[in-house]
Chain A
Amino acid sequence: MGLSGNIMGIDDKSIYRKFGTGLALFALLAGFTGSSLGNELPWEEKVIQRHIDIADFQGQLDADRLTRLRNAGEVLFTGKFTKQDGFGRPMATQAILPTKSRYAAQSDFQRLAGPDANACSSCHNDPIVGAAGHSTANVFVSEGFTNANFDSIDPQFSNERNTNHLMGIGLVELLAREMTRDLVELRTASLHKAKRINEPVVVKLVTKGVSFGHLAANPDGTVDLSGVEGVDSDLHVRPFSHKGVFSSIRQFTVNAMNHHHGMQALERFSVRWTGETDFDEDTVETELTAGDISALVAWQATLAPPIQVVPENQRWAEMASQGQELFANIGCSECHIPALPLESTLFSDPGPLDVAGTLRVSELENGTTYDLAERSWIKTLPRNDEGHVMVPLFSDLKRHKISDAKVQVFGNELLSQRFVERDQFQTTELWGVGSTAPYGHRGNLTTLDEAIRGHGGEAGEARKRYLGLVDSERNAIIAYLKTLVIEHE
């Protein structure tokens, strides 16, 4: 239910049965849903029968409008795009920047370089739609500039990636926005002070208890970034992807739509930027409007976060409790921080950090806003003394060196991704880890134990302590991690 492309959750059967009164039903649907995607011609071989108009979803959305937008987003997330939608990118590569292919694609579907999926949910489906993926569904990420149409899994051409789950990512993006805000404020304040006192000022970059090193602000307005750790040089916390290189759900959605489906969003591929009305030359000019992307963002941003269960099995519960203590004691929680406080649950789309190529709020009269605190799942999240929602993501949203000469499990890659070296990854969020085997950035680790043993680099000491535990203690930690699950039937 709700996954078959129908807007109001009415299943296909009832429409077919009531075909005689279908027009009336159709009119009801159309009148109610306005400009959202309609199932008016169910036999048509396309997912998108009518594009979303972003103008219908500006301002703060009430429950009704949010539901409509989310439902439209779900259709787009689960729909298997067809050529009529604009699936395929014969003359464009998977690159984030509109980049022409040197040669026309030999086939519409290419398992490695893409397009490699019919729907977002082709990969994001384990244990539920919007969650993670088996290794079967791994993708191969390449910049798409040179050797774009590679046909080997050799790491010289691409970085293999296991599908991340998307549960709770709205909260993650909001955390990242607040952390970025804090870091930028620290930088600005230190620059003002340096100018005032005419001396360099060193400031520690700490936000929500996470340290990102330090920065030196000079009186002339320049900054020395040599002490900055684990975040990009512009101090923008980019929380998405295994390496932490994408700013927002919106940016990632536009990227992924092109990469995996050849569906090109106007906000990046339109004639305004590329000079062409059909950049990928697949004969479809309007593939994804700004409203379509907003719908996808709304659906993803409002996904319920994973939870921690208290097992009914007594033994498991005891072990998990012991494991929770050990997790902290041996130092895992220094990076896998159990929870970060979130000041505001208001999600604005477009967000404050996107740049040209992703829709920006300055390009609209009004952006779209919805309050994640109105979702039913918010009740599962505790609040701290200041009323901030404690988001249990088990990550510091910081990048760390995780591989070294001795422990190279996570150092298989040959290509850096978007300025981040091959041995650095963002601390993986462990929420939901109990539901989303296999593990590791390419899903080649079948057990959590292997994943923990694979922690090198900055995690080397914690790894040593893990190895120094007895079997039962290690099992306790695993038992604890196994309680971090994604709720599903």
Chain B
Amino acid sequence: MNSARPIFIAGFLLFASFAMAESDGVLSDIPVFQEESLTAGISHVYDGPWEYYVGGGVAAFDCNGDRFPDLALAGGANPASLFLNISKPGSRLKFSEVEDAIPERARTNVTGFYPIDINNDGLKDLVVLRVGKNYLLEAEKDCQFKIANSKYGMDGGREWTTAFSAMFEGKQSFPTLAFGNYVDRSAPGSPWGTCHDNFLFRPKGTVVPQYDEAQVLSPGYCALSIMFTDWNRSGLSDLRITNDRQYYRGGEEQLWRIMPEKPARKYRSAEGWRRVMIWGMGIAETDMDGDGFPEYALTSMGDTKLQTLDGATDDPPRPTYRDIAYEKGATAHRPYAGGEIKPSTGWHAEFSDFNNDGREDLFIAKGNVEAMQDFAEFDPDNLLLMQANGQFREVGNHSGIARSTRGRGAAVVDLNMDGMVDLVVVNRKANASLFRNIGSRKHRGKNTMGNWLGIELNQADQNRDAVGALISIKTGNKVQTRKVQIGGGHASGRLGFLHVGLGVAERASIRIKWPDGEWSHSYRVFANNFVVIKRDSPLANYWYPVQ
């Protein structure tokens, strides 16, 4: 027996226990991020007076046809910017600002951006949320945009707009748009108890969409995030609205029933909707337990809420939600680093699989509103890794994202097409953070975490990105789902490949429930690929990031 061995073993155990303590009981791979905004060429700060304490969104979408996501960043009082992604596959991130991409009028006072193909030409247009007139920007080739408000009959309003969501209803050719508004600054007594109403625009017209008629969703309670969501597996989407209790009186979280060709109305407590009052800043959706009824993460000051449907067993299901954040370890109510005991302030939230282990994790952008003394000043963004036991574990402090920034909007998206999701966070009064995922803590680099897929859907004619589609990914006995959605987050949206982690599975079967409810056949694909699935095509196409 090697006499050095017992000493070696003891030393190893000591090291292992140290490493274990360092990872705080996290058994799965911990992804590590390298912040590269400046070397990548992204110099962008979201700033401004009170109106820009909130907002600060980013749209991640491809505008030059190479499928590498480009970034439109809100600037608030600073001009908004559009950055073209010129990263090489698998390499350090590189962006180049496209100076006049966004028309000048639409570059100022911007709180957020959402990408969507409004006119079905295959190019992703941009919705610009502003303090003041909102703009619909029609995309032209090579990341040029022009204002299309007149063309689309969209007035744009004058409100302080902070939220957006879109969906395609029934067989309509163009999307229904919903705008969420914050405080009505001109109302008497503002801002206390003076929240603006929200608006729903159903398109008219068959050749060019016309959004000249708004349905008012009243009362508004200072929305900071809205999301069309099929919460009850009906095949139809209702509108969830998260509201900031800071300024409302008698307000609450809202779920609006959106019925085809009828005015929308709120779900009432008699129907099962429970009154929840939070400083609602962002909505993220996922189906954690695979029962078809989504769970929702709602960020706030203090506890994050994680809502699951309690009324699922009723027939029809009732919109009664229960908070499971505590039991799942997802409250993220206090900074995990810095030693502050004051509560956190949460903004953008997004579920994604950061370590490709087949379990969706939760990212939350954090940061003090401005100088709120009752809330933590050093408030780093969270990365909650889902473990095999169904619990989230915080790894922000191990993955390199714990910075002293005030995060607002964000996008979780693979920027260098290496199969690992990266992260861009818009920060108030600081440069945007651009985090490249460089692999697991133990072994840096590509192919060091689980297997993955990137999935893009195409349909012909209308709704070309298949907004509203459900993707079902089967590996063995496990099924994960993803939805093509526009909305939620904090003034931030993305459209492109949807990322799925596959763990140790080498292949997967994908089925699509297209927006009109029709299920596709099974597409059999191999892991570690980007796949493009065109409706009615017998086979999936692979896409390769060739430059």
* Interface band, chain A: 35 or more
Residues of A within 8 A of B1 (CB): 30, 40
The answer to whether B451 touches A362, judged by C-beta atoms less than 8 angstroms apart, is: no
Minimum distance in angstroms from A255 CB to a CB of chain B? 10
The answer to whether A362 touches B504, judged by C-beta atoms less than 8 angstroms apart, is: no
A233 vs B525: C-alpha distance when bound (angstroms):
7
| Interface membership of B192, Cβ < 8 A | no
Residue-by-residue, is B507-546 near A (CB-CB < 8 Å gives 1, otherwise 0)?
A: 1000000000000000011111100100000111111111
A251 vs B538: C-alpha distance when bound (angstroms):
30
| Interface membership of A272, Cβ < 8 A | yes
| Interface membership of A458, Cβ < 8 A | no
CB < 8 Å: which of B357, B388, B446, B505 contacts A97? B505
Minimum distance in angstroms from B269 CB to a CB of chain A? 39
| Interface membership of A197, Cβ < 8 A | no
A232 vs B542: C-alpha distance when bound (angstroms):
12
The answer to whether B451 touches A356, judged by C-beta atoms less than 8 angstroms apart, is: yes
Residues of B within 8 A of A146 (CB): 477
Residues of A within 8 A of B478 (CB): 97
Nearest opposing residue in chain A for B478, CB measure: A97
- Given known contacts A220-B65, A221-B545, A222-B532, A357 and B504 CB-to-CB distance under 8 angstroms: yes
Minimum distance in angstroms from A373 CB to a CB of chain B? 28
| Interface membership of A15, Cβ < 8 A | no
- Given known contacts A268-B504, A275-B27, A363-B448, A191 and B525 CB-to-CB distance under 8 angstroms: no
Among A82-90, A175-183, A223-231, the one that faces the other chain is A223-231
| Interface membership of A70, Cβ < 8 A | no
Nearest opposing residue in chain A for B503, CB measure: A273
| Interface membership of A274, Cβ < 8 A | yes
| Interface membership of A11, Cβ < 8 A | no
Near A by CB (< 8 A), chain B positions 442-487 give 442-443, 445-451, 475-478
- Given known contacts A221-B546, A233-B526, A99 and B389 CB-to-CB distance under 8 angstroms: no
Minimum distance in angstroms from B526 CB to a CB of chain A? 4
In terms of DSSP, what is the predominant structure of the interface of chain B? loop
- Given known contacts A222-B541, A356-B451, A275 and B387 CB-to-CB distance under 8 angstroms: yes
Minimum distance in angstroms from A253 CB to a CB of chain B? 15
Nearest opposing residue in chain A for B507, CB measure: A419
| Interface membership of A236, Cβ < 8 A | yes
In terms of DSSP, what is the predominant structure of the interface of chain A? loop
Minimum distance in angstroms from A422 CB to a CB of chain B? 14
A385 vs B388: C-alpha distance when bound (angstroms):
55
The answer to whether A145 touches B448, judged by C-beta atoms less than 8 angstroms apart, is: no
| Interface membership of A192, Cβ < 8 A | yes
CB < 8 Å: which of B67, B356, B507 contacts A418? B507
- Given known contacts A30-B2, A195-B546, A357 and B529 CB-to-CB distance under 8 angstroms: no
Residues of B within 8 A of A99 (CB): 476-477
CB < 8 Å: which of A95, A222, A362 contacts B443? A362
Residues of B within 8 A of A355 (CB): 447, 451, 504, 506, 527-528
A187 vs B526: C-alpha distance when bound (angstroms):
16
Minimum distance in angstroms from A197 CB to a CB of chain B? 13
- Chain A interface residues (CB < 8 Å from chain B): 30, 34, 40, 95-99, 143, 145-146, 187-188, 191-192, 195, 220-226, 232-234, 236, 268, 271-276, 355-357, 360, 362-364, 418-419
Q: Which 8 A-B pairs have the closest CB atoms?
A: A275-B388, A357-B504, A97-B476, A234-B526, A191-B546, A222-B541, A362-B447, A419-B524
22 pairs of residues in contact across A and B, judged by CB atoms under 8 Å: A30-B1, A34-B2, A97-B476, A98-B504, A195-B546, A220-B65, A221-B66, A221-B545, A222-B542, A223-B544, A225-B542, A226-B539, A268-B504, A272-B27, A272-B29, A275-B387, A275-B388, A276-B388, A356-B502, A356-B504, A357-B504, A357-B505
Beyond A272-B27, A356-B356, A356-B450: 8 further Cβ-contacts under 8 Å? A143-B476, A145-B477, A220-B66, A234-B529, A273-B28, A275-B28, A355-B504, A364-B443
